[in-house]
Every structure is written in C-alpha cells, then in structure tokens.
Amino acid sequence: MHPLIREALKITEELGPVTFVGAVAVLLHTKNTRESQDLDFAIVKQISQDELLNKGYKIVTENRKEKTYTPRGFKIDIYSERPLNRIPIETIIETSQNFTVDNKDNIVNAMGLEALILAKFRANRPEQDHPDLKRLAIERKGNIKWDLLESLSGDKYEMASIKVTLDTLSR
Amino acid sequence: MVENTSLLEWAASALLFAQELPTQPVYTIKHLGAEFVGSKKTVYRRIKSLIPLGLATYNRGNFTIKKDVISQPFDVLKKLMPSLIALKNARRFGRSYNNADINFVINSMPESTMVTLDYKAWELTKFQFPNDLYIYVNDVDKGVSFLKENGFSEGSRGHIILLPKIGLFENQMERVYLDCIANGGRSILDAISIELLYSDQINTKGRFFIDTIKKVQEDLPQDQLDKIAPINT
C-alpha cells in the first residue's frame, strides 16, 4: 500500500470520518502520481487541539506558523470552515467518494472526481495543479459526471474552459 | 552546445511571448491571437518553435506550455538546454507497469548510468514520492535492446525512462537540479527542495514563485527541514 494511503487509513481510524482532498484524493483517483508527505482533509465538525493532542498528534510552531503532525510524523492540514477553492466544505463531503484500499475492505473517503477537478482547475498552480489535472484527464476523463461538474461550477464560461482543458490534456 | 544555444535564440521571441501569457493549463489560439500578438498565424508559429524544446504541445487549435520552465531567465534557460533536449528524446518503457519494473532496472543498471528526476530527488530530499525512474544511459539503443530482451515494451504508460547523455555531468547535483527545472510541473518542487537543501553545490540558480518556495519549505519532512534551519534564521 502506498505510504500516503496507509497514513490516510490510520487518520480515518483515529479521527473518524474525514474526506481527504489534495494529494490523497489525486492518488486514489489516478493511482499514479507524485505527492509530498502532507495530507489535507475536510471534516464537518471541527477537531479541537486537545482532541488531537490526546490522540498523539503533535502541534508545533515552525517559522512562526503552527503545524500539525500525525503520531507517525506526517504533516496534516484540516479544512472545517473555509471553502476550498470556492467549493463549500459541505459540498465536498456530500459529493465525496469511498475507496476500498486493501483486501480487508478498509475504506478511505476522498473528494469526488468532479469537485477535485474543479478545485485543481481553480487553484491553477503550474507546478502542482496543472500536472494533476493532466493526470486526471488522462486517467479519468471517461468517468466524469459532467452534470455534477457543471452544477458545482455554476458558471458556463468556466465549464467551457474546463472541457477544453480536459480534452486537450487527455490527448 | 553552440547548436543548442542557436535553437534557444531561434525560439527567443516565442519565449518572450509565452512568458507574457497568463497562467493557464491550456490556451486556445482563437482566444489569444488578437489580444497578444495580432494574428493566429503568429501565435501558431511561435508555439511551433517551442515544440522541439519540449516547452509546448499543440493540438487542434489548443496548446499547452511549460510556464514554470519558460519563466526562467535566459541564462538559466541556456543551461537547461541539454536537459530539455534529453527529455525531448526520452524513451519510456514498461513491463508490469508497477514497482517491479523499477526494481528490475535498478538491480540491472550498469555503473555508467545515472539516475535523475523522481528517484534521485527522493533520495536527496524525501520531499515527493517518486513515480518514474529516469536514467541517463551512454547508448540509448543498447538500453532499449536490453529492456526489450527482458520483456519491456515502449509506450506512454511505462515507468522506466531512458535519457540520452547530452551535456555536462561533472556536477551531478546541479545536473539533477537542472533536469528537475527542465521537466517542469511537480519536478519544480523537487528543484526547490534540492536548492533549499544543497544550495552550496549548485552554481546556476533557477527563479521560482515565492508561494511555491514557501509551500516546499512548509511541506518538507521535519528531518530535512532541520538541515535548512540556518536559512530561516
């Protein structure tokens, strides 16, 4: 099992139902990508610092910024309030998808394909989002629910642009 | 090297044009023509001159550019030429299309080969998990024959990539760093992490967005971060 997926599974066991976004989501959808050792996830109910500390998580201040690490040393970012690339957290969770990650039927929940594409398209970083979009276009274009993507976007010009982007990147 | 520089000079106006474009994963010529250079034909001609360098792709009126690579200063682009040409001539192979392919090749590589990009960057920085095994070989044809004799097929989905040895390899750290910049995309993050950790071994320094540098600094594993503590104080 990929180390990030193993870690995602551990986090799910420790913190309850969470929806992974970013690296883990791309990895689960494409099985084929490069990711750094940090995990981002969305959760409806905010987790307190005490709760995290009780479960063995570490909160440290580095370069005047607070960072949270899992008991195994993976950095995590938790999204519970602010939208992710203008997609509300509730929507990300509602449209999320379960992935069976081993032969014991263990499940990791991650952002749905359509929300992930929209988030990556809006984030628009050439070093991260463009290669991820290309990978998603090559591996998953045939699985996209276009109606759902359109309703998540809510903007016909953005949708037209996403379509052209995915068509071109998938070739 | 002279030939490489001429190729770059030939593409100079296209590079300037591409540097001015807004950041997008895909551009549509009909939407850019008048706004940026006056005619669709000019845009097409410019994009075409970037294709031999692996800096652009074109398909039915739409194109992509390696914005993060094109944004490098001209003197860095000159140093990137051997890497760009090697990557443009890369040949990709697969057999079982998983880690078994990687392990087989790592265990059978002759000493004269040099690993670069994903696996080398991972060895140096532990920043991003590796995906593809890029190796420089003295003789690509021999490498291809070896892989084919061992059941590998050439295609776009394999994880083994053979690169022709073009340019200088005396400073291997710098070569890996330049390869990472030339490859663009997520390899840019590898380049930044290499520069943060091994700055004293690199003479040519790339130019990166400050937000990207900050992201790498924030996400580097703790044990690697300790190595760069003096930079942050």
Query: Which backbone phi and psi does A47 adopt, to 5 degrees?
Result: -100, 130
> Smallest Cα–Cα separation from A25: which of A65, A77, A103?
A77
Cα–Cα distance, A117 to A129 (Å, whole number): 9
Q: How far is CA A73 from CA A60, A84, A85, A129, B218, in A?
A: 12, 24, 27, 25, 14
pLDDT confidence bin for B229, thresholds 50/70/90: low
pLDDT of A46 reads: 87
B152 and B49 belong to one structural domain:
no
Domain stop point among B24, B47, B65: B65
Shared domain for B207 and B121, answered yes or no, is yes
Which regions of chain A are under pLDDT 50?
none
At residue A34, the pLDDT reads: 84
Same domain, B170 and B100: yes
Instruction: Verify whether the Cβ–Cβ distance A124 to B23 is below 8 Å.
Output: yes
**The CATH number of the domain where B13 resides is what?**
1.10.10
Residues in chain B with CB shorter than 8 Å from the CB of A122 are none
Based on the fold, state whether residues B102 and B182 are members of the same structural domain: yes
Q: Which residues of A touch B64 (CB under 8 A)?
A: 130, 168-169
Looking at the partner chain, which of A36, A133, A168 has a beta carbon nearest the beta carbon of B127?
Answer: A36
Say if residues B205 and B195 touch (Cβ distance below 8 Å): yes
Tens digits of residue pLDDT in B179-194: 999 999 999 999 999 9
Same domain, B88 and B114: yes
Q: How far is A110 from chain B (nearest CA, A)?
A: 19
**CB-based contacts of A64: which residues, under 8 Å, 6+ apart?**
none
Q: Could you say which DSSP state residue B129 is in?
A: -
SS3 percent helix, strand, coil of chain A, rounded to 5, is 45, 20, 35
Confidence at residue B160, expressed as pLDDT on a 0 to 100 scale: 98
pLDDT digits 0-9 by tens, B104-116: 999 998 888 999 9
Q: A128 and B189: CB-CB below 8 Å? A: yes
Is the domain of B11 the same as that of B89? Answer: no
Question: For chain B, how big is the Rg over CA atoms in Å?
Answer: 19
Average pLDDT of the residues of chain A: 94
Q: Answer yes or no: do A171 and B59 touch at CB < 8 A.
A: yes
Average pLDDT, chain B: 90
Q: How many residues does chain A have?
A: 171
Q: How far is CA B6 from the centre of its chain?
A: 20
Residue in A54, A52, A67, A6 with CA at minimum distance from that of residue B222: A67
For residue A44, the model assigns a pLDDT of 86
The pLDDT value given to residue B43: 86
Domain of residue A92: give its range: 3-169
Work out how many domains chain A is built from and give that number.
1
What is the pLDDT at residue B232? 45
Distance from CA of B128 to the nearest CA of A (A): 4
Looking at beta carbons, which residues of chain A come within 8 Å of B186? Answer: 34, 127-128, 131
Give the pLDDT confidence score for residue B4 in this predicted structure: 65
Model confidence, pTM? 0.92
User: Tokens 């998603």 appear where?
Assistant: A136
Helices (H) and strands (E) in chain A, counts: 8, 7
- pLDDT one-digit tens code per residue, B13-30: 889 989 999 999 999 988
What integer pLDDT is reported at residue A129 of this predicted model? 95
Cα separation, A58 vs A73, whole angstroms: 8
Is A37 close to B127, i.e. CB distance below 8 A? yes
Is the pLDDT reported for residue B148 higher than 90? yes
Q: What are phi and psi of A6, to 5 degrees?
A: -60, -40
The count of residues in chain B is: 233
Instruction: Give how many domains chain B has, as a whole number.
Output: 2
Query: What's the one-letter identity of residue B56?
Result: A
Query: What CATH number did the domain enclosing A114 receive?
Result: 3.30.460
B60 plus B84 within the same structural domain? no
The range of the structural domain enclosing residue B132 comes to 74-232
DSSP H or E run through A39: strand A38-42
* Cβ-defined contact of A73 to B222 (cutoff 8 Å): yes
Which residues on B lie below 8 Å from A67 (Cβ)? 218
Report whether pLDDT(B40) > 90. Answer: no
What confidence category does residue B63 fall into, taking pLDDT thresholds of 50, 70 and 90?
very high
B124-149 mean pLDDT: 96
